[in-house]
Amino acid sequence: MSTSPSHHLLLGITGGIAAYKAAELCRLLVKDAVDVQVVMTEAACRFVTPVTMQALSGKPVVTDLWDERIESGMGHIELSRGRELIVVAPASADFLAKLAAGIADDMLSTLCLARECPLLVAPAMNRQMWENAATRRNMRVLAGDGVRIAGPASGDQACGEVGPGRMLEADEIYREILAVLRPAALAGVRVLVTAGPTFEAIDAVRGITNRSSGRMGYSVAQAAREAGAEVTLVSGPTALAVPTGVRRVDVVSAEEMLHAVEAELGAADIFISVAAVADYRPAAASKQKLKKSVDTLELELVPTVDILASVAARPNPPFCVGFAAETQDLERLGEEKRRRKNLPLLAANLAQEAIGAEESELILLDHEGRHQLPRAPKLTQARLLVERITRLYRSSQSVKLKAVRR
């Protein structure tokens, strides 16, 4: 049984070595049941063949403004009708200049000019081309015209140089596309997320930490960004890349995380505490490396500040969401934590199954009771969690508004 497409978009490909990434992007979209119509410039065909893109999209690829296969002879207008988004990836410096100037001299540029839907571009070029004053000027024009710009990243380039101008990876552009296509349930909402472990120094080289990878917190930040929120991520030490469109604040210790959260809290509507913050820290950290001896080492530990509890206890706190990682009696201990900290929502999981893993099983606890999220990739869980947060947050705002009107 065939599945109806979830969304309809047009994928434009321009000339550049990064065109190979468009093939993977098309594959990701089609896998997610997105209907993809590919349009390629003449230069793009030098880097990836229309046959390849047709095989991936399942549709004939359009390359010519005068393509006789397009009905009615008005394909330069009709081809974009019914599309929710036009994505150009890669978008070369030449193509971006044409967009900024309103030039329509081939099928893709004409479609972009005649569109009725949003446009997202993923720039890809040599670092000198990206930093050129003309390109910077064109990007300002496009941003002012409402064109969404994904990237570019900085890194190794095909020319052998290193710097800005490298096109985002296919999965990063895919996430940007989802942020456009999915309902912006949290548009205008500012979300503050904590993620990762903390590191509490014992001496100059040793410390107390935990096995948290930070993956769930980063997934929550990405899911909130996809839902249209303005997201700030306060992160302990991790090896993860920051989600596209998310602002990250790096910290190391629990104390640093507390100060960073307090600095960002005034602008937050929702606070999601996912970080595995150390409950204790050494009373005094040695500035020098402690030498090993035959004697027993005694280490005095003092409690750290409970960041989530301190935020939730404020006179007018943001909507607070907590996480609980337990090794047993998950639901009871999670609900006790939720009530003790006066949280509207808490997500609980088994530490031995979730920490460091790519998948997890969550139990969501709120005033309505228990909601089970079966085992799935953490990004999938994060999206479901954000949906729940959105519903409860909107409900709480409605209650506050009614109280004010009284």
Name the residues annotated as catalytic. Answer: 159
Which residues, in sequence order, are bridge partners of residue 251? Answer: none
Pairing verdict, β 190-195 and 200-201: unpaired
Tally DSSP H helices, then E strands, for the chain. 14, 19
Cis peptide before 152 (omega within 30 of 0): yes
Dihedral of CA atoms 303, 235, 394, 358 in degrees, nearest 10, equals -100
d(CA 331, CA 335) in angstroms, rounded, equals 6
The Cα diameter of the chain in Å comes to: 88
> Count of CB atoms within 10 A of residue 290's CB?
14
d(CA 243, CA 7) in angstroms, rounded, equals 23
User: In this structure, which amino acid lies at residue 179?
Assistant: A
Q: Sign (positive/negative) of CA torsion 127, 128, 133, 139?
A: negative
- Phi, psi for 201 (deg, rounded to 5): -65, 135
d(CA 344, CA 322) in angstroms, rounded, equals 9
> Count of CB atoms within 10 A of residue 330's CB?
19
Q: Using the 8-state DSSP alphabet, how is residue 69 labeled?
A: T
The answer to whether the beta carbons of residues 207 and 220 sit under 8 Å apart is no
Cis peptide before 197 (omega within 30 of 0): no
Which candidate, 237, 268, 234, 267, places its Cα nearest to that of 252? 237
In order of 6, 169, 263, 363, the CA distances from 151 in angstroms are 25, 10, 27, 36
Q: Using the 8-state DSSP alphabet, how is residue 71 labeled?
A: G
Which candidate, 172, 171, 221, 213, places its Cα nearest to that of 196? 213
